[in-house]
């Protein structure tokens, strides 16, 4: 921790704390030791064996340095910032708490160590429920090449001007790296755009005013053939996700290769699912096949929402999941209309059987 209380119950920063005084943890009031030297970042630490639920022990040098850099950046940008501010109603202490006029307080967490997605969700929801905005910044352990199953994706967040994003704080360069407009297309690498904000030359306000043009990935002309080859290879390698999908198809009288064209996703989408979007489309195809030819709008929405919910990956930092899933449902409904799977009628929707049959000519 960067702050501790002295004998007068005044918070003292480790960088300025006199060595001659004694200090206690502001959370549990247990004695703490001042650690300050030429190499290590100045901080306070609990004595060995001391249990404290207010602060995490074993903070890395990166975490301590990053908090100081961030606090200095926000302060230099003219914003009121507190380090390790106690939020008694939550029993939490964000790394930084920023006050921005006209906005709810912003809790910033700089995460450098492993964090279970359940704990991540609990902390995020705690902030939101008590009226705080929250921003998760990730350290070096999460800054490797971003892939569809990267651990950083559980920290996925959403901004209306950036789309889905993850943000990294880089202590070596003292700046924020934003990967935004994150999209996934089955069979292809995760796509995103990148913007770097160096604290030495840009204020924090540069991030808040950032309004980029979101560029959708251009699918290669041979994407379908490429994806088909990947499915064939996955089948030969007996990959579990594909075997599970193939088994579901077998149980309903067909194969993956006999799916209608609309059931193979061809557009990039947010990386919100635990597996490929193909799994959702297969589940939707099979669910629609069991329905009567005419269904209500409410019934269709329930089918779309339920089949999607089964595929969602845990995204503990995402506070707008309901909004995003509603947009996904609306998009796929439009896909079904365009593919002539659905036809609007006064009482809801008519299902068109031709697009709900297994195809005789296999795609692959």
pLDDT at 235 (0 to 100)? 62
Residue 232 pLDDT: 66
Instruction: Calculate the alpha carbon distances from 99 to 107, 148, 286 in Å.
Output: 9, 34, 50
Rounded to an integer, what distance in angstroms lies between the CA atom of residue 182 and that of residue 196? 16
pLDDT at 50: 65
Cα–Cα distances (Å) from 41 to 62, 121, 165, in that order, read 9, 30, 30
* Of 340, 323, 346, nearest in space to 158 by CA: 323
Question: Could you write out the DSSP letters of every residue in 234-277?
Answer: HHHTT-HHHHHHHHHHHHTT--GGGS-GGGS--S-B-S-BSS-H
pLDDT of residue 11: 60
Position 277 scores a pLDDT of 95
pLDDT of residue 356: 97
Q: Which residues of 2-40 are buried (b: 16+ CB within 10 A; e: fewer)?
A: bbbbeeeeeebebeebeeeeebbbbbeeeebebeeeeee
How confident is the prediction along the chain (364 residues), in pLDDT tens digits per residue?
Answer: 677 767 765 667 777 778 778 877 766 667 878 787 766 677 778 777 666 655 555 678 899 899 999 999 999 999 999 988 889 888 889 999 999 989 999 999 999 999 999 999 999 999 999 999 999 999 999 988 787 778 999 999 999 999 999 999 999 999 999 999 999 988 778 999 999 999 999 999 999 999 999 998 776 556 656 676 667 666 656 778 788 899 999 999 999 889 999 998 888 999 999 999 999 999 999 999 999 999 999 999 999 999 999 999 999 999 999 999 999 999 999 999 999 999 999 999 999 999 999 998 765 5
Q: What is the pLDDT of residue 204?
A: 97
pLDDT at 352: 97
pLDDT computed for residue 53 by the predictor: 56
Instruction: Please give the Cα distance from 7 to 290 (Å, whole number).
Output: 72
Order of all β-strands in the sheet with 342-345: 294-295, 348-351, 342-345
Output the pLDDT for position 364: 52
- Strands 106-111 vs 133-138: parallel, antiparallel or unpaired: parallel
What CATH class is the domain 60-218? alpha beta
Instruction: Measure CA of the first residue to CA of the last residue in the chain; give whole Å.
Output: 58
Q: What ranges do the domains of the chain cover?
A: 1-58, 60-218, 223-356
């Amino acid at each position: 921790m960067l702050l501790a209380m002295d004998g007068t119950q005044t918070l003292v920063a480790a960088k300025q704390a006199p060595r001659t005084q004694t200090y206690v943890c502001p959370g549990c009031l247990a004695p703490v030791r001042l650690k300050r030297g030429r190499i290590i970042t100045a901080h306070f630490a609990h004595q060995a064996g001391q249990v404290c639920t207010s602060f995490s022990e074993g903070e890395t040098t990166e975490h301590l340095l990053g908090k100081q850099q961030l606090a200095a950046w926000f302060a230099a940008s003219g914003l009121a910032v507190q380090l390790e501010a106690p939020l008694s109603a939550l029993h939490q202490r964000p790394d930084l708490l920023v006050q921005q006029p006209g906005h709810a307080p912003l809790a910033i967490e700089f995460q450098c160590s492993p964090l279970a997605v359940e704990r991540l969700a609990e902390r995020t929801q705690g902030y939101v429920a008590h009226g705080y905005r929250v921003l998760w910044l990730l350290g070096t352990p999460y800054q490797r090449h971003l892939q569809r199953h990267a651990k950083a994706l559980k920290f996925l967040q959403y901004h209306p001007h950036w789309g889905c994003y993850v943000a990294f704080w880089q202590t070596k360069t003292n700046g924020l790296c934003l990967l935004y407009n994150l999209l996934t297309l089955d069979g292809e690498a995760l796509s995103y755009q990148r913007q770097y904000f160096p604290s030495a030359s840009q204020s924090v306000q540069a991030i808040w005013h950032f309004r980029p043009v979101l560029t959708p990935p251009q699918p290669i002309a041979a994407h379908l053939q490429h994806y088909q080859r990947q499915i064939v290879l996955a089948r030969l390698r007996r990959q579990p996700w594909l075997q599970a999908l193939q088994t579901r198809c077998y149980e309903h009288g067909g194969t993956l290769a006999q799916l209608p064209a609309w059931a193979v996703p061809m557009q990039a989408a947010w990386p919100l699912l635990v597996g490929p979007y193909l799994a959702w489309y297969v589940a939707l195809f099979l669910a629609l096949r069991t329905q009567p030819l005419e269904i209500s709008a409410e019934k269709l929405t329930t089918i779309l929402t339920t089949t999607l919910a089964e595929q969602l990956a845990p995204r503990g930092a995402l506070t707008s999941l309901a909004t995003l899933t509603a947009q996904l449902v609306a998009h796929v409904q439009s896909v079904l209309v365009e593919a002539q799977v659905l036809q609007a009628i006064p009482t809801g929707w008519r299902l068109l059987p031709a697009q709900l049959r297994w195809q005789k000519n296999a795609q692959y």
